Amino acid sequence: MSDEVRDMIRSALADEPALGLEFDQVVTDGRRRRTRQRVGALTVTAAGIVTVVAAAATLSGLPDRTPAQPAGPASTAAPANPGCVLPASADSYPDQPRGTASPAELSESGRLTEAFRQLALPLPAGVEASPLQLCVIRDSWGGSFTLTGDRTVSVYLRSRGDRPPGGCVTHQDTECSIRALPDGSTARVTVTSPAATQVDVDVWRVDGTYARVLEIGGHGSKKRVLGDDALITIATAPQLKVDLSGPAVPSAPSDRRAAELDAVIATALPAGMTTKPAPGADRGWRFQVSQGGYKISTTLVDAQGKGRALVYLEPPADGAVTCGDQPGCEPIDLDGGRKATLTTTRSPGGVTVLALGAKAADGTSITIRTSDDAGTGADTRTRPTPPLSETDLVRIAELPGLHW
């Protein structure tokens, strides 16, 4: 778990109100603003990178480094596109760019860029598009181009592997729909409303490629240029099939999977315990898609008073669960030989927080926290002990279906 997420969770159960949909909407809005600011700039950056790569390729052919070849007929074939790499600072794509690329990734970048250049884009009359470079990100490729009307289109491609199609995610001011395409591919269309300044089309293609095409407007640009069908046409273009496979990628979080997890955890609370949404949240003992994972943020109530609980699942990843130098932490064992950590902390006002960190068999990161305060922001206990005991935390972490 990153320090940022760890701090977020600690804040949710210590001195600040629990994380909820309102906070997540702030994060979503911020990402939209960053996308508007950066996605166009990445096109310029990528073009500059291509120039550098091309120059490097030219230098590698100097006479003092490459033996001279016998003279022959001059070639009229166009040089192969050398490919390009997005800088590590770019963050408008699902993957954080590595900033480097293997020769195979650069070759795929060049091939995809040339393939896109030959596409007949479904543009309305009078609309023109700038060139696109599909640069290496991290086992994936992406870039953006601008349209007449102060609109930008971002394209992202990677190998789908055995990743199943994603589902819709409920957010404020968005509309989502799923389409079954004629060739068997699955498309998801997400439109911001009512302004409709951003449209996301995700396609899980039958040829093993995952494609995301996003149209977004600049400041003051709210009218779409490309319709849903046009964006799907780009995302399903046969020429954009990714030939280079990468490591498996976890499926994207969805409302569908959140509902399945609700069934897993429905009976996990102690007898006599009731639940209601925590301050700032819109659900009780139910999962919602939040910040790239699945989260429950709830208030628990019984005869002893009110307390809080949080359950947070993050995508499967490598790495072991350890205490490190965290005070109050001790390693424990779960069923099946899995390792976990159990941490107890107390605030200056006497609020006790119990936290369990573990990983499911598939690598899903599991965080469960509970505290004996009401989540009002005051450092004041509202019950003698946290509503969930250490035994309860372990029992929840060991639920067989609690994973990505």
What pLDDT was estimated at residue 226? Answer: 94
| Residue 114 and residue 211 in one domain | yes
| Residue 101 and residue 225 in one domain | yes
What pLDDT was estimated at residue 281? Answer: 61
Dihedral (C-alpha) 241, 135, 158, 200: value to the nearest 10 degrees? -100
List of E strands, 135-208: 135-136, 140-147, 151-159, 174-180, 186-192, 198-204
What pLDDT was estimated at residue 282? Answer: 62
Phi first, then psi: what are they for 373, rounded to 5°? Answer: -125, 170
Arithmetic mean of pLDDT, 63-86: 55
| Residue 89 and residue 234 in one domain | yes
| Residue 236 and residue 264 in one domain | no
| pLDDT top residue among 375 and 105 | 105
What pLDDT was estimated at residue 113? Answer: 98
Task: Tell me whether residue 189 is in a domain.
Answer: yes
What pLDDT was estimated at residue 207? Answer: 96
| Residue 85 and residue 167 in one domain | yes
E strand or H helix at 23: helix 21-59
| Residue 320 and residue 347 in one domain | yes
| Residue 196 and residue 333 in one domain | no
On the question of pLDDT at 12 being above 60, the answer is no
What pLDDT was estimated at residue 196? Answer: 57
On the question of pLDDT at 307 being above 80, the answer is yes
* pLDDT tens digits along 256-266: 999 999 999 99
Phi first, then psi: what are they for 49, rounded to 5°? Answer: -65, -40
- Domain boundary (180, 213, 240) is at 240
* pLDDT tens digits along 21-49: 344 444 445 545 455 444 444 444 444 43
| Residue 128 and residue 99 in one domain | yes
Q: Among 361, 403, 404, 391, which Cα is nearest to 269's? A: 391
* pLDDT tens digits along 186-206: 999 999 876 658 899 999 999
| Residue 353 and residue 233 in one domain | no
| Residue 234 and residue 265 in one domain | no
The set of residues, in sequence order, having a beta carbon less than 8 Å from that of 222 and lying 6+ positions away, is 195, 196, 197
Query: What is the percentage of the chain residues whose pLDDT exceeds 90?
Result: 63
Task: Tell me whether residue 69 is in a domain.
Answer: no
Number of domains in the chain: 2
Most confident of 245-249, 290-294, 369-373: 369-373
Average pLDDT, the chain: 83
CATH number at residue 326: 2.60.120
Which residue carries 């499911």 as its tokens?
360
Q: Residue 6 and residue 324: Cα distance in Å, rounded?
A: 14
Per the document, the length of the chain is 404
Task: Tell me whether residue 93 is in a domain.
Answer: yes
Query: What is the percentage of the chain residues whose pLDDT exceeds 70?
Result: 78
* pLDDT tens digits along 312-336: 999 998 899 999 999 999 999 999 8
Task: Tell me whether residue 248 is in a domain.
Answer: no
Q: Residue 249 and residue 251: Cα distance in Å, rounded?
A: 6
| Residue 236 and residue 257 in one domain | no
Most confident of 14-23, 136-145, 146-155, 286-295: 136-145
pTM: 0.67
Task: Tell me whether residue 71 is in a domain.
Answer: no
On the question of pLDDT at 184 being above 60, the answer is yes
What pLDDT was estimated at residue 115? Answer: 97
Task: Tell me whether residue 30 is in a domain.
Answer: yes
Arithmetic mean of pLDDT, 378-401: 96
Task: Tell me whether residue 124 is in a domain.
Answer: yes
On the question of pLDDT at 355 being above 70, the answer is yes
| Residue 343 and residue 226 in one domain | no
What pLDDT was estimated at residue 195? Answer: 60
What pLDDT was estimated at residue 43? Answer: 43
Instruction: Categorise residue 399: left if φ over 0, alpha if ψ from -120 to 50, beta otherwise.
Output: beta
- Domain boundary (175, 207, 240) is at 240
What pLDDT was estimated at residue 30? Answer: 52
- Domain boundary (240, 268, 283) is at 240
Task: Tell me whether residue 9 is in a domain.
Answer: no
Arithmetic mean of pLDDT, 299-324: 95
Domain span holding position 323: 253-397
What pLDDT was estimated at residue 38? Answer: 46
